[in-house]
Structure 1
Amino acid sequence: MRTYKFASWNVNGLRAVLKKEPSFTDIATELDADILAIQETKLQEGQVAVELPGYVQTWSHAERKGYSGTAVFSREEPLSVRRADSLLPYAAGNELVATAVTEGRVCALEFDSYWFVDVYTPNAQNELARIDTRMAWDDAYRSFLKGLEGEAGKPIVTCGDFNVAHEEIDLKNPKSNRGNAGFSDEERGKFTELLDAGFTDTFRLLHPDETGAYSWWSYRFNARKNNAGWRIDYFLVSDAVRDQVREATIRSDIFGSDHCPVELVIDL
């Protein structure tokens, strides 16, 4: 067993973050994680070259240009890699999930003692226009994780932008946002089902009552300045290793996106 540090960040457009100061590479160096997962790269294959010495790069690109996408930078070479199409056997032919899996939303990496799964969950969109896709995706993703867990008996570490604030404590204005995308009863219920299937929200494990801890802020209304945010970026782990979680941190001091990175330190 050894201690790992993991980090996850929705960059909301990697090309833009690469040009900002500090740059993505500067921030990645500061995070100094054994694995750094990112979401919403908005890239096609070959559009950028990220120089991050010492890291193996695993990408999942959306078919649609400038949309979605995930990537994982790991210091170890993974034993195997799976992407979103691996959810299809768990989707029972659902066409909505079949569309979502073309959007580069999953990078799952197998290592000796665990699976590391980076996810960018579909947004339910304004007036819950995509809620049916979201519900089907959540069911398929939960089954996919349990399938990975059962294959070789390895625990799961899954992280990313889950696009849901689970409880009222996880957003600044729960009353006015009740029923909106990201805080609908449907989405919150599916996240509860995921936790009930055998996963632990690591931040709430270590910080059960902490308020004002958010990972995303709207670009409007000075939301970040006023800390009117949402906690929608998570590290979840299999319940079997929850007692091995050492630290869970939200890096609200890091800018460059409308999200900030989240971190996990765990013994595996």
Structure 2
Amino acid sequence: MDFSSDAKTEDGRKWNLKVASWNINGIRAWLQKDGTSYIKAESPDVMCLQETKCDTSKIPKNCEVEGYHCYWLSGDQEGYSGVGMMTKKEPIKVSYGIDVAEHDKEGRVITAEFEKYFVVTAYIPNSGRGLPRLEYRTKQWDVDFIAYLKKLDAKKPVILCGDLNVAHLDIDLKNPKTNKKTAGFTPQEREGFTNLLQEGFVDSFRKLYPKKEAAYTFWAYFMNNRAKDCGWRLDYFVISERLTKDLCDSVIRKYVLGSDHCPVVFLANIS
């Protein structure tokens, strides 16, 4: 695939920063599907991975791509959650978690500080089938995570990416009417995302493509959903409002295979 782009800001500046994000649904399975070939073809400045499902001590060596510094985080439970980040340029600082022990034991967030911005990769908790974790997700995680992002944003702009486990708008999933009580589309989860945006953050894709339909990033494996394009938009680039002037494009790589999610890509001119 051709991943080249001539995207520019509204005032005509060509992109000079590319960040990519992908929920790979298990790093070992992803490697078996030659997942690193995507990174080599896309060549992002920062590559963020979610749901690695692997203890950091067991990360396979062949997942590391030449030319990148690699950072990994796993939770206490083996084979669950986990995130990773690869950067061409070594960050000023890398932080793990959000400084709340109850959340951090699940290994969900890595933050890299660069000269002019933070990149945060996150795998947001799923409320679960039957919604057993809905209250935890909305009353605890969402509140604490927004507070964490605001603290970063007070220092320098934030680029948040990852599987945020919510389809915010009706057009962000194929069947909104039948999923009102499904994890990822409950009123409470959607409200949590709205609350984030109201704190000075912007959904970069919807900023550029407010009415674009069938823009999905996840397709459940059952019932041939991907072939039918019966999906959800769960993967995002959410940016500090003051970065919107630098936004060039926000792209969904829907034809890249290797997981039940596809990669998403953020292009900006930040100089």
Report the TM-score when normalising by structure 1: 0.92
Deviation at 1:61, TM superposition (A): 1.1
Q: CA deviation at 1:206?
A: 0.8
Match of 2:134 in 1: 131
2:57 — aligned with what? 46
Structure 2 residue matching 1:174: 3-state secondary structure: coil
Aligned counterpart in structure 2 of residue 160 of structure 1, from 159, 162, 167: 162
CA distance in 2, matches of 1:235, 1:61: 22
Tell me the distance in 1 between the aligned counterparts of 2:79 and 2:111. Answer: 22
Q: Report what 1:66 is aligned to.
A: 79
Question: Partners in 2 of 1:260 and 1:10 — Cα distance?
Answer: 7
Tell me the CA shift for residue 111 of structure 1.
0.4
Question: Separation in 2 of the partners of 1:113 and 1:231?
Answer: 28
SS in 2 for 1:46: helix
Output the CA distance in 2 between the equivalents of 1:224 and 1:100. Answer: 32
2:214 maps to 212
Match in the other structure for 1:144: 148
The 5 A counterparts of 1:1-268 are 3-20=16-33, 23-47=34-58, 48-49=60-61, 50-84=63-97, 86-88=98-100, 98-135=101-138, 136-150=140-154, 152=155, 154-268=156-270
1:162 and 1:233 in contact (8 A); partners too: yes
Offset of residue 99 of structure 1: 3.2
Q: How many Å apart are 1:87 and its aligned residue?
A: 3.6
How many matched pairs? 254
> Structure 2: which 5+ runs fail to align?
1-12
Structure 1: 4+ residue segments shifted above 4 A: none
Letter in 1 for 2:70: Q
* Higher percent of residues as helix: 1
Identity %: 41
For residues 176-211 of structure 1, the C-alpha deviation after alignment (integer angstroms, 9 at most, x for no partner) is: 001210000000000000011011101111111110
Amino acid at match of 2:78: K
Offset at residue 100 of structure 1 (A): 2.9
Partners of 1:209 and 1:19 in 2: how far apart?
A: 36
TM-score when scaled to structure 2? 0.91
Query: CA RMSD, aligned part only?
Result: 1.2
Residue type matched to 1:54 in 2?
G
Per-residue deviation at 1:62?
1.2
Counterpart CA distance in 1 for 2:169 and 2:55 is 35
Tell me the amino acid that sits aligned with residue 145 of structure 1.
L
Rounded Cα–Cα distance in structure 2 between residues aligned with 1:74 and 1:238: 20
For 2:125 and 2:99, the matched residues in 1 are separated by: 14
Aligned-residue offset at 1:129:
0.5
Q: Using the alignment, how far apart are the partners of 1:192 and 1:174 within structure 2?
A: 17
The CA distance in 2 between the partners of 1:58 and 1:235, in whole Å, is: 20
User: Do the aligned partners of 2:64 and 2:70 also contact (CA within 8 Å) in 1?
Assistant: no
Q: Is the 8 A contact 1:87 1:140 kept in 2?
A: no
Q: Give the letter aligned to residue 138 of structure 1.
A: D
SS state at 1:163 partner: coil
Q: What's the CA shift string for 1:88-125, capped at 9, x where partnerless?
A: 2xxxxxxxxx4332111000000000000000000000
Match of 1:37, SS state, is strand
How far, CA to CA, are the matches of 1:148 and 1:107 in structure 2?
13
CA distance in 1, matches of 2:76, 2:24: 19
